[in-house]
Amino acid sequence: MSDISIILRDASVVFTGQTDLVGRVKNTILRRPSASNTKEYTINALSNVNLTIARGERVGLIGLNGAGKSTLLKVMARIYPTTTGIAQTRGHVCPMFELATGFEMNQSGWDNIKIRALLLGLKPKEIKAKMQEIAEFSELGEFLNYPVRTYSAGMFIRLAFSVSTAINPEVLLLDEVMGAGDINFAHKAKERMKKFMAQGKILVFSSHSPELVSDFCERTIWLEKGKIRMDGKTDQVLKSYADNYQATV
């Protein structure tokens, strides 16, 4: 097996769907042409993306909302299969995407920590060893004994963040997860994040903060409408990006 890497060849992702499924079923039954009263949509979330990320690289993803940053990260995480083209990710992936979803509402904080840790690929023994540390970092205290449906939005994020950053990742994929929690936690989270990101053998993260990107990444990819607009040294890409949007403002 070859080394840890991410390779995309002509990778495209197309979302399709109908806004009016009932209408479509009716049309099928009545054998009417489908276009008459249904709205079908296709979104080219990613088009023909080519890239290779090798061991040791730290890559920033920038681009406007809807440019395809999250989709690209999910393709790299093997969550979204490509519609056409090839996507290969070698190595143990640690994704950190939507910190506020994927909880068992009626189960306690402890149970949710365990489930998330299992899904991140930790063995039960490792979880036992790290449980206390995760709990302390989350600062949730006795709330961990309560069902998570009693949690506030910030508390969900604290719990998820504490679990995700407790593991030792090979391929670390982050989607805008900086600034989790309240003022106290945000500072702590930033410090921990830095340490965590330093551990990853490959790091890819999307951000709207040029400082963060230039702090961490030698290489930056600028996405625009699902395509790679520019891929190169961080300072150059950030400069072109800023120039481009300054000009239009």
Partner 1 sequence: MISQNSFIPNALKSLLEWRVWLYMGLQDIKARFRRSAIGPLWILINLAMMVLGAGMVYGVLLKQPMEEFLPYLTCGLILWGFLVASFVEGGYAFISSEGYIKQFSFPKQIYLFRVLVSLFIILMIGVVALAGTLLFFDRFNPLGWLYALPGVAILLAAGLGHITLSAYLSARFRDLPHALSGIFQVLFFVTPIMFPVAMLKDRGLDFIYKFNPFYYLVDVIRFPILEGTLAVKQDYMFCAAYLTLLWVVCIALGSKMDKKVVYML
Nearest Cα residue to 24 out of 41, 43, 36, 38: 38
CA distances from 30 to 20, 35, 66 (A): 16, 13, 37
Query: CB of 43: closest distance to partner 1 in angstroms?
Result: 11
Considering CB under 8 A, how many residues would be counted as binding partner 1?
Answer: 33
Q: Which of 167, 192, 168, 169 is nearest to 177 (CA)?
A: 192
* Per-residue binder mask for partner 1 (CB under 8 A), 26-45, x = binder: --------------------
* Neighbour tally for 224: CB within 10 Å: 16
Among 107, 199, 214, 240, binds partner 1 (CB under 8 A): 107
Question: CB within 8 A of 145, min separation 6: which ones?
Answer: 108, 109, 110
Binding window for partner 1 (CB under 8 A); candidates: 58-66, 101-109, 189-197, 211-219: 101-109
Q: What's the token pair of residue 3?
A: 């080394």
Question: What phi-psi label fits residue 56: left (phi over 0), alpha (psi between -120 and 50 degrees) or beta?
Answer: left
Taking residues 132 to 151 in sequence order and writing x for each that binds partner 1 by CB under 8 A, - otherwise, the string is ---------------x----
C-beta of 101 vs 132, nearer to partner 1: 101
With contacts defined by CB under 8 A, name the span among 60-68, 96-104, 138-146, 216-224 that binds partner 1. Answer: 96-104
Contact status: 54 vs partner 1 (CB under 8 A): no
Report whether 205 contacts 234 (CB < 8 A).
Answer: no
Least Å distance between CB 173 and partner 1?
A: 9
What residue ranges bind partner 1 (CB under 8 A)? 15-16, 74, 77-82, 86-90, 93, 95, 97-98, 101-104, 106-107, 111, 114-115, 118-120, 123-124, 147
